Structure 1
Amino acid sequence: MKKLLYCFVVTTFLTACESTPPPPHLALEKENISKVTPIASLESKAENKQKIDKVRYLARHLMGVEQQELFINNLQQKITEWDYSNTTIGFLASSAITGNPLSSHGLSTANQVEAALNIISYFADGSKDVIGQMWLPREVDGVEITSEDQATKEAERLSLNAIAFSLDKLGYSKPKYVGTLKEGAIKLYTAELINKYPNPKFPLQPENLTVLQLVMAYDEVKSPKQFDKLALGFTPAYQSTIAGHQIILMGGEKFDSEGNLVMATSESGQKFPEPKQDLWMTSIGREFFRKVSSQIPWIQGKDLIGNRALVYNSEIYTFFATRANSFISSRIDG
């Protein structure tokens, strides 16, 4: 499961590298990704330190088992100082909560026991190479969610809305459904660049984009953890599995020897331009994921060679190690 989408992309779309000179846009891409703010600089402010610790917590499954345990133990010393995260996502407004039930004035023995027991449940799966997780409150847009099936469908709807929002902001058409892959598990959408004039912010700006969306069955959260409430800013009622809500952005075009656009085919037989590459950590890809994550309570991260990054709440972070005391090294600003 932990490499489901990544392996799919590699085996389905990516081809072997050719011995040709690197395209000129690569130098600009390298320049953009080097525009970072060190985490130490951000954490010099108390509010930023708390914010980044919450991101570390939500992305903790990228750590190994022992490092997760150490990280959670360290958080026990800080949790009484945490405030609830302020959410700017519209549909979460009615579910937002304030205060801290674990504050030094209200910390009970029961809560301490709950926090200690919660640590055990974090380690069952060990570390992950890829995470993609989303949470939902009990009520969304005034409608109560009463089943796991309804939650799964609602998460998919909200996720697609976020994708459409991001594509629109980047100058692309609305996502067009073109079928599924992996026996229906992955839904495919395409979008075309509306304004053909290049955006100087994006050295690589494909005319055609392909979005792959994986939304697996959601689970009801029967005993919400206090850590989760504080990190998310609302009480989660449903959640995906650790890697059960993933989004991949691909783009670029492939042409055959005669200059014709190469087309791919979905399981239902629909044709769409075969994408050339994964855009996860390109300039346009980072901006796409920043905007998607501004609309839904969702985190996605990858711990892969040359590709160690995560996105949450409009920010892109990178890391060199997944150790408790050094997880997340900088914020990518470019």
Structure 2
Amino acid sequence: MHRQIRDNFVQHYSYLRLFSLLTAIILFIAGCAVDPEKQPWLADSLAHPERVELDESDLAIDRVSYVARYLLPSDDRSKFINNLLEKKSGGCSNCIFSSGLFVSNSASSVTGSGLGVGLMALDMGLSVINFFADGSLDRVSGFVMPKEFNGVAISSTEQAQSLAASYSEAKLISAAEGIGYSISCVYGCDGMRRIYRLISVNPSKQAHYIYKPDDIAVLAIFGEMKEVANPSEIDIAVYGFEPKFTTTPGNQWFFSFGGDPVLDETGQINISIGENGASFQMRKGLEGTKIHRDFLKNIYSDSYSFYGNSDDYPSVIAYEGILYSYIVDSSNGFVKYRLVER
């Protein structure tokens, strides 16, 4: 049932976004440019970042491809991992296994859509591994943690999850306040499924955005973590540390942003409790907008956490504060581009 509900949400979201973009294309063909003042979300969604091709020697190709490998079909995923192992056995001089070439960023300090005519419910299942028939996922996210995190020795999965959630929450708070939003947790503030509200308090910091809602609701999902008994050589080479705790494969550690959420009679976010837990309705999803890309870069700004989405355009993977895009090519890694704002 959880999988079906999540499928319905993703399908509904994709249909709304596709309808919006097709409408925009029709408007352009008809000679009617989208006015950013009248249709800011649509104009922003059409202002795609540039895809800059990575140099074939860039270690990010293999590193980020491995982190987001569950976006690949299972056969291609196996071929890609075998290719990495062949590089290691071949004594590569410029690969993720090369001594002294890889420097981890893990020491970094903690410092929808539619055209406005309807509402979209944000109701995602928690910790649901929803593979397609080919073994791939449309979205991936996760958190990987060493045995000592920010000076604290981790002794249990519960402690690992609590510290990781607090860490990611701090990232969200910093990102929101950095662009002029106040932020407060309004539901489930100590749990695995939390809802936050962001209110614009300094619009001058949002001047460079086309779509910049005054009110944003955020659903945070922090999936369960498991202990890593025997981390692989690839894991250690990619992350730059020995993973001790990690989320399971899937879309397990993410934030979903909704602009202009529906409010109740008291002016608070109208939160409904369903089979999967708390959710809310929003008038616009932030995916595909510049403000969303900036949130991704700031939240997933080190090698502990990652996020990937094949439904977005261009496809996006957020890792170590950089946004990447990809094509499916298992032989040499499928991450091929870095996204740069125009």
Identify the residue that residue 179 of structure 1 maps to in structure 2: 187
In 2, Cα distance between equivalents of 1:331 and 1:171: 27
Q: Give the 5 Å matches for 1:1-334.
A: 8=9, 24=36, 25=40, 26-31=42-47, 33-39=48-54, 42-43=55-56, 46=57, 49-79=58-88, 80=91, 81=93, 82=96, 83-90=101-108, 126-174=135-183, 176-180=184-188, 185-197=192-204, 199-243=206-250, 245-253=252-260, 263-267=269-273, 274-295=281-302, 297-304=304-311, 306=313, 308-321=315-328, 323-325=330-332, 327-334=334-341
* Paired residue secondary structure (2:310): strand
In 2, Cα distance between equivalents of 1:272 and 1:4: 12
Give 2:139's aligned amino acid: V
Q: Is the 8 A contact 1:2 1:243 kept in 2?
A: no
Report the aligned-residue RMSD. 3.6
* Paired residue secondary structure (1:87): coil
The verdict on how the C-alpha distance between 1:54 and 1:284 changes in structure 2, with shifts beyond 3 A counting, is: same
In 1, Cα distance between equivalents of 2:84 and 2:7: 31
Shift in Å, 1:303: 2.2
| Identity between Structure 1 and Structure 2 (%) | 23
Shift in Å, 1:208: 1.3
Shift in Å, 1:203: 0.9
In 2, Cα distance between equivalents of 1:170 and 1:312: 20
* Paired residue secondary structure (1:210): strand
Q: Is the 8 A contact 1:136 1:239 kept in 2?
A: yes
Q: Is the 8 A contact 1:250 1:279 kept in 2?
A: yes
Deviations 1:264-314 (A, max 9, x none): 22449xx99843222132100001110111156111112237562211111
Q: Is the 8 A contact 2:224 2:247 kept in 1?
A: yes
Deviations 1:229-272 (A, max 9, x none): 1111111110011225332332322679xxx979522449xx99
Shift in Å, 1:28: 4.9
Q: Is the 8 A contact 1:250 1:276 kept in 2?
A: no
Give 1:87's aligned amino acid: N
Identify the residue that residue 114 of structure 2 maps to in structure 1: none
Gaps in structure 1 of 5+ consecutive residues: 93-124
Q: Is the 8 A contact 2:143 2:253 kept in 1?
A: no
The verdict on how the C-alpha distance between 1:9 and 1:168 changes in structure 2, with shifts beyond 3 A counting, is: farther
Of Structure 1 and Structure 2, which has the larger fraction of its residues in strand? 2
Give 1:202's aligned amino acid: Y
In 1, Cα distance between equivalents of 2:145 and 2:205: 37
Deviations 1:6-43 (A, max 9, x none): 7557769x979688975523345433x2423123xx33
The verdict on how the C-alpha distance between 1:64 and 1:281 changes in structure 2, with shifts beyond 3 A counting, is: same
TM-score by length of 1: 0.73
In 1, Cα distance between equivalents of 2:177 and 2:68: 28
In 2, Cα distance between equivalents of 1:332 and 1:6: 28
Q: Is the 8 A contact 2:209 2:290 kept in 1?
A: yes
Q: Is the 8 A contact 1:254 1:262 kept in 2?
A: no
Identify the residue that residue 116 of structure 1 maps to in structure 2: none
* Paired residue secondary structure (1:209): strand
TM-score by length of 2: 0.71
Identify the residue that residue 122 of structure 1 maps to in structure 2: none
In 2, Cα distance between equivalents of 1:196 and 1:272: 27
* Paired residue secondary structure (2:243): coil
In 1, Cα distance between equivalents of 2:310 and 2:3: 10
The verdict on how the C-alpha distance between 1:164 and 1:326 changes in structure 2, with shifts beyond 3 A counting, is: same
The verdict on how the C-alpha distance between 1:4 and 1:11 changes in structure 2, with shifts beyond 3 A counting, is: same
The verdict on how the C-alpha distance between 1:169 and 1:322 changes in structure 2, with shifts beyond 3 A counting, is: farther
